[in-house]
Amino acid sequence: MSRSRTPATADSGYAAFVQLHRHSYQAYARARLGDGVLACRVVEQVLRRAELSWTQALHDDPAAFTWRVLCDSVTLAGRQTGDLRLDRLHRALPDRVADAALLHQRLGMAPREAAGLMGLHEPQLHVQLMAARRLLADGGTEGAEA
């Protein structure tokens, strides 16, 4: 993030976190929103919030904390644009299940990478992927969130 002021939380851990995850966050947001410019704007806002809450995130799990903020922000941006047609997985499946499927199957991330991005352990991601397969085979409506 290039800003003229030096943020109080600009430590090497935060900078490494951003460098490691920014591209994947943008790919996720772009896949859900269908708009690269909007996706970049949402991700920048998410990373600013993570930066401002970095101490809190470190007490929890930075990946899980930031993933929750990202998912909420992308969902809100999608609702505000009114074009949710592109986000079929999230209409058909519970959010975490849809996220796992989107990252692994649509964006081609390895399970370990997708799990780390979401703040999960790899076996937890595999459970989400199995649920996605089962729900989609059942028509995607059983157990799906509104």
Domain boundary among 47, 64, 86: 86
Domain boundary among 86, 111, 128: 86
Under 8 Å between Cβ of 33 and 41: no
Give yes or no: residues 81 and 107 share one domain.
no
Under 8 Å between Cβ of 38 and 32: no
Residues 6 or more apart in contact with residue 75 via CB below 8 angstroms: 90, 95
The CATH number for 123's domain is 1.10.10
Flag residues of the chain having pLDDT under 70. Answer: 1-10, 83-86, 140-146
The per-residue pLDDT for range 126-146, each reduced to its tens digit, is 999 999 999 999 875 544 433
Give yes or no: residues 74 and 14 share one domain.
yes
Domain boundary among 69, 86, 103: 86
Give yes or no: residues 76 and 37 share one domain.
yes
Q: What is the pLDDT of residue 108?
A: 97
Integer CA distances (angstroms), 117 to 8, 25, 138, in order? 25, 8, 28
Alpha-carbon radius of gyration of the chain: 15
Position 4 in a domain: no
Instruction: Give the largest CA-CA distance in the chain.
Output: 52
Q: What is the pLDDT of residue 18?
A: 95
Please state whether 143 falls in left (phi above 0), alpha (psi between -120 and 50) or beta.
Answer: left
Q: What is the pLDDT of residue 140?
A: 54
Give yes or no: residues 76 and 92 share one domain.
no
> Which pTM does this prediction carry?
0.84
Q: Which residue has the tokens 């943008």?
A: 26
Q: What is the pLDDT of residue 139?
A: 74
Give yes or no: residues 46 and 109 share one domain.
no
